[in-house]
Amino acid sequence: MKKRDRKALISRVKKVVIKIGSSVLTNEYGELSEGVFDEIAREVSRIKSGGVEPILVSSGAIAAGMKKLRLGEKPKDISTKQAIAACGQSTLIWYYEKAFSGFGERVAQILLTHDGLSVRKRFLNARKTLFTLLRMGVIPIVNENDTVAVEEIMFGDNDNLAALVTSLVEADLLILLSDIDGLYNKNPRNHSDAEFISVIEEIDERVKEIAGETLGKTTTGGMKTKIEASKTAAAFGVPTIIANGKNSNTLSEIFSGKELGTLFLPAKEKINARKHWIAFTLKPSGEIIIDDGARRAITSFGKSLLPAGIKEVRGEFEVGELVKCIDEMGVEVARGLTCYGSDDIKKIVGAKTSNIEKILGYKYSDEIIHRDDLVVISRMGI
Ligand code: ADP
Q: What is the pLDDT of residue 378?
A: 63
The larger pLDDT score, comparing residue 318 to residue 379, is at 318
Q: What is the pLDDT of residue 155?
A: 38
Ligand 1: nearest atom to the Cα of 23: 2
Does 3-273 carry CATH code 3.40.1160.10? Answer: yes
Identify the band that residue 380 occupies on the pLDDT scale cut at 50, 70 and 90.
low
Summary mean pLDDT of the chain: 90
Q: What is the pLDDT of residue 148?
A: 77
Residue 73 has pLDDT above 50, yes or no: yes
Q: What is the pLDDT of residue 154?
A: 43
Q: What is the pLDDT of residue 244?
A: 96
State pLDDT tens for residues 289-300. Answer: 999 999 999 999
Q: What is the pLDDT of residue 28?
A: 84
Average pLDDT over residues 313-325: 95
Question: For residue 122, how far is its CA from the centre of ligand 1 (angstroms)?
Answer: 32
Residue 64 CA to residue 48 CA, distance in Å, equals 26
Does 284-380 carry CATH code 2.30.130.10? Answer: yes
CB atoms within 10 A of CB 156: 18
Ligand 1: nearest atom to the Cα of 194: 23
Residue 369 CA to residue 334 CA, distance in Å, equals 10
- Which is it for the CA torsion 59, 211, 227, 161, positive or negative? negative
Q: What is the pLDDT of residue 197?
A: 95
Pocket test for ligand 1, best of 27, 161, 174, 214 (most atoms within 8 A of CB): 214
Ligand 1: nearest atom to the Cα of 159: 4
pTM beyond 0.95: the answer is no
Nearest CA, atom 27, ligand 1? 187
Domain map of the chain by residue range?
3-273, 284-380
State pLDDT tens for residues 137-165. Answer: 999 999 988 777 665 444 347 999 999 99
Residue 240 CA to residue 163 CA, distance in Å, equals 9
State pLDDT tens for residues 10-23. Answer: 999 999 999 999 99
Identify the band that residue 213 occupies on the pLDDT scale cut at 50, 70 and 90.
low
State pLDDT tens for residues 47-59. Answer: 999 999 999 999 9
Q: SS3 for 369?
A: strand
State pLDDT tens for residues 79-99. Answer: 898 899 999 999 999 999 999
Question: For residue 85, how far is its CA from the centre of ligand 1 (angstroms)?
Answer: 22
Nearest CA, atom 13, ligand 1? 180
Identify the band that residue 218 occupies on the pLDDT scale cut at 50, 70 and 90.
very low
Question: For residue 372, how far is its CA from the centre of ligand 1 (angstroms)?
Answer: 38
Q: What is the pLDDT of residue 152?
A: 45
Q: What is the pLDDT of residue 270?
A: 79
Average pLDDT over residues 54-72: 93
Residue 69 has pLDDT above 90, yes or no: yes
List pocket residues of ligand 1, CB cut-off 6 Å: 21-24, 178-180, 183-184, 186-189, 210, 214, 216, 219-223
Residue 125 has pLDDT above 80, yes or no: yes
Distance of CA 214 to CAs 183, 184, 186, 199, 226, Å? 10, 10, 7, 18, 10
Average pLDDT over residues 186-202: 91
Question: For residue 223, how far is its CA from the centre of ligand 1 (angstroms)?
Answer: 5
CB atoms within 10 A of CB 161: 25
